[in-house]
Amino acid sequence: MTFFSDGEDTLRQLQMYLSPQSGHILDWFHITMKLTVINQMRKSVVGAEPAAWLDEVEKDLESLKWHLWNGNVDQALRLVDGLKTMLDGEEISPEPQKLLRTIREFGNYIAANRAYIPDYGDRYRNGERISTAFAESAVNQLVIRRMVKQQRMHCTERGAYLLLQVRTQVMNGDLRDTFGRWYPGIKAVSEDPIRLVA
């Protein structure tokens, strides 16, 4: 059995407790999310820093991602150190300071999880899983989108649970059969009304 995680120690300890002989992999989804944040922060300093400097940071970030994809953790950490050196200085403005802090945190994250970073490219080419992004997406589609504060409709905990049951059946294509079992005398209707529940 192989467990994927975001690198959080408590979760990995639980996984090791449940299955001591299992494999553990740092989820590629979480690495790319952190790199996306760093890249967005880099873009926010455009105009405040010299273009050549920003180009160098961009190249190093791309190289960092490539090395992590290929399981070259030592080289990735050297690139993080180089980025920290490039960004560090006495006269650093607030935006590059935030970028530097985030890169430091990312370097610590990679160093703490180095034993769980495989060659993702090799796994991908061999048809092996590298991420749980499909599960994260399903959770977002089923639950989070409905529960965020920007939505007009809010649910109680019980209501959210019941809504999740219905949405899951809709996504799995099982809702019509469930209604058929509950109400055997119901007439066949077009598929559109049931889809409106989603």
DSSP string of the chain, one letter each residue: -EEEE-S-HHHHHHHHHH-TT-EEEE-HHHHHHHHHHHHHHHHHTBTTB-HHHHHHHHHHHHHHHHHHHTT-HHHHHHHHHHHHHHH--TT--HHHHHHHHHHHHHHHHHHHTGGG---HHHHHHTT-----HHHHHHHIIIIIHHHSTTSS----HHHHHHHHHHHHHHHHT-HHHHHHHH-TTPPP--SHHHHTT-
Q: What is the pLDDT of residue 93?
A: 75
Q: What is the pLDDT of residue 125?
A: 94
- Give the tens place of pLDDT for each residue, 43-52: 887 766 666 7
Q: Give me the number of domains the chain comprises.
A: 2
Q: What is the pLDDT of residue 195?
A: 47
When pLDDT is averaged across residues 150-168 and rounded to a whole number, the result is: 68
Asked if residue 180 and residue 87 are part of one domain, the reply reads no
* pLDDT above 50 for 33: yes
- Give the tens place of pLDDT for each residue, 88-141: 765 667 777 888 899 999 999 999 999 999 999 999 999 988 887 666 665 565
> What is the share, in percent, of the chain residues with pLDDT greater than 70?
75
CB of 27 closer than 8 Å to CB of 8:
no
**Which residue, of 97, 125, 153, is where some domain finishes?**
125
When pLDDT is averaged across residues 54-72 and rounded to a whole number, the result is: 92
Asked if residue 164 and residue 145 are part of one domain, the reply reads yes
If pLDDT is split at 50, 70 and 90, which confidence band does 197 have? very low
Q: What is the pLDDT of residue 110?
A: 95
By residue range, what is the domain housing residue 165?
Answer: 133-195
Asked if residue 139 and residue 108 are part of one domain, the reply reads no
The amino acid occupying position 14 is L
When pLDDT is averaged across residues 172-181 and rounded to a whole number, the result is: 80
When pLDDT is averaged across residues 24-51 and rounded to a whole number, the result is: 84
Asked if residue 185 and residue 160 are part of one domain, the reply reads yes
Asked if residue 25 and residue 104 are part of one domain, the reply reads yes
Which pairing describes strands 23-26 and 2-5: parallel, antiparallel, or unpaired? Answer: parallel
**Which residue, of 125, 151, 166, is where some domain finishes?**
125
